[in-house]
Amino acid sequence: MCGFTGFTNYIKDDGTVLEKMMNRIVHRGPDSAGKFIDNDIALGFRRLSIIDLADGDQPMFNEDKTLVLVFNGEIYNFKDLRSELTAAGHTFANNSDSEVLLHGYEEWGENLITKLRGMFAFVIFNRRDKSIFAARDMFGIKPFYYTFMGNSFIFGSEIKSFLDHPEFKKELNEEALAHYLSFQYSPTEETFFKGVYKLPPAHYFTFKDGKMKKTRYWRPEFSDIDGVLEYFADITDKTVRESVEAHKIADVEVGSFLSSGIDSSYIAQAADVDKTFTVGFESPDGDRYNEIHYAKEFADTIKVENISKIITPEEYWSAFPKIQYHMDEPLADPAAIALYFVSKLASEYVKVVMSGEGADELFGGYRIYQEPLTLTLYDKLPFKIRRIIGKLCAFLPQKHGINYLVRRGKTIEERFIGNANIFSLKERNEILKSDVALNVPAPQILCDKFYSEVKDKDTVTKMQYLDINMWLMGDILLKADKTSMANSLELRVPFLDKKVMKFAETIPLKCRVNTVTTKLALRKAAEKALPRRTADKDKLGFPVPIRVWLKEDEYYNTVKQAFTSETAEKYFNTDKLIKLLDTHKSGKSDQSRKIWTVYTFIVWYEQFFVNE
């Protein structure tokens, strides 16, 4: 696990500039550094040594040094690829997984991507024709950002490395802010920095003579096959365990995160690690936000050590600005801070951990996936009538029953934009000062292209497909990568594996979700090795007491100060922000997610545009 940064075209003092850019991401690779510079390109690399500790440094070259590689990630099938390439006549200089990318590109060209099993973002520069070939893994586990500024093409693992390039112009993308208020993350290829883009998951590009050509090389293809739950549970268990075994490859100790739920528990048991790591929160609500005792109890049953930490409110709030700096873009998921602290804890003992990200998207784990299956007498009304009722109810004050009628008057494409839906279109336009928001497409427009790709599928599959393409990359994997790498820790996600995905695509709806529970095949598989209590436990993720803290005077005043700051005045109608805050504190309605979304942006903005 590492980080890279670079740019094309010669600039004055390019070595000094590159060094500064590399220093911005030293947390991604504190073990060593490397540079390659000529008149056409500058490549910088920071290494966290995991495989081939002695000889895996980068930038890395092929035999005649015509190809130069910088690579972030792990290739889990590199030994098989190495054998295939050796048989084809290639000579390897070291035992790292990185080198198979160079020889693989020599042998297969762009088709290399289809052979890789792993998490990756990499750049290969061809010194002969001055071309670049770069790619990102199928799920977007590893980040890749790029921009065209001045005469330079700048790219890297984190946006913050671009800040030291003399041609980089730092400017807020207000369209991204409008989208963010709906999704709680940045959902498009554009980022919060104007002119900076993400390479989407499952894409590669070629860059030559100033022109970029992007290609998508994979997309999920759900095609249910017939079978009973026991069959799919058996294959799930075999497939997940094989993936876990593949993900264990390392020359250093591997640990595992552990909550009280099925996903991390299943991974920890299958991985047979020595150490697991858990965090919980200090809260007036007692154990509601602290599952450490559940995790310790489970760790005892599988005979592994559990190392835990209680996070105090003071720790959580004081670390928040630093964490938002590490995120590169604002992410209003409170669980990101919990992930930062459990990563920090784990980094004191190991260099690599496994985690359960991706199980919900692949196996149907979110409770909202049950909604289309939970039919009531009201659903027997013709949809046209429900639509009219829903439109009328939209003008009434938001309450649980009213919201139900509004949602039931919409198609899934209209009502589901992912696991977060913070501000409505009307609300975000009212809360923002700039007229830019008025011209930003509705959230549903961004989702349309993915829904159109599965228009013939059932409603739950449509929801999963959308989450795999948007929520997974924009929220789940963003916080997983950035919070772990902020602590120089490699995080591996065995559920998000090529072979696991290929099988998950075949699981029929009846073995994924029903009206009683979720992740049926995965839960049934987990029952083989986990206590029934763990296998059947509802998903909680990292429950964080934001709702409780925002009613306390200290944190109410902290947020109020932010909501009346110069930054808030610049972008928001602050009277509406204060109204949200007061409504929540009085207990009239829970506005914590909306408050936290705005507060997160303000804190992030001040890290990059005020304090930088």
- Residue 118 makes CB contacts below 8 A (sequence gap 6+) with 73, 74, 75, 76, 77, 78, 97, 137
3-state secondary structure of 168: coil
DSSP H helices in 160-312: 174-183, 229-247, 262-271, 292-301
- Rounded Cα–Cα distance for residues 103 and 115 (Å): 13
Q: Is 447 a catalytic residue?
A: no
Do the beta carbons of residue 305 and residue 299 sit within 8 Å? yes
| DSSP line for 477-494 | HHHHHHHHHTTT-EEE-T
Structure tokens at 582: 């007061």
Annotated catalytic residue, options 2, 393, 447, 511: 2
**DSSP classification of residue 505:** T
- Residue 260 makes CB contacts below 8 A (sequence gap 6+) with 291, 294, 295, 298, 534, 537, 540
Structure tokens at 369: 């996936």
Cis preceding linkage at 59, omega within 30: yes
- Residue 185 makes CB contacts below 8 A (sequence gap 6+) with 329, 330, 331, 332, 333, 420, 471, 474, 475, 478
H-run or E-run covering 81: helix 78-87
- Rounded Cα–Cα distance for residues 208 and 541 (Å): 44
Selection from 63, 7, 68 nearest residue 39 by Cα: 7
Selection from 170, 5, 140 nearest residue 71 by Cα: 5
- Rounded Cα–Cα distance for residues 56 and 93 (Å): 10
Selection from 270, 257, 266, 282 nearest residue 346 by Cα: 257
Q: Give 225: exposed, middle or buried? Use CB within 10 Å, 0-12, 13-18, 19+.
A: exposed
CA-CA-CA-CA dihedral for 261, 263, 269, 274, to nearest 10: -80
- Rounded Cα–Cα distance for residues 81 and 577 (Å): 55
Unique residue bearing structure tokens 């989208």: 179
Do the beta carbons of residue 67 and residue 133 sit within 8 Å? no
- Three-state SS for 323-349 is HHHHHCCCCCCCHHHHHHHHHHHHHCC
Q: Give 400: exposed, middle or buried? Use CB within 10 Å, 0-12, 13-18, 19+.
A: exposed
Catalytic residue numbers?
2
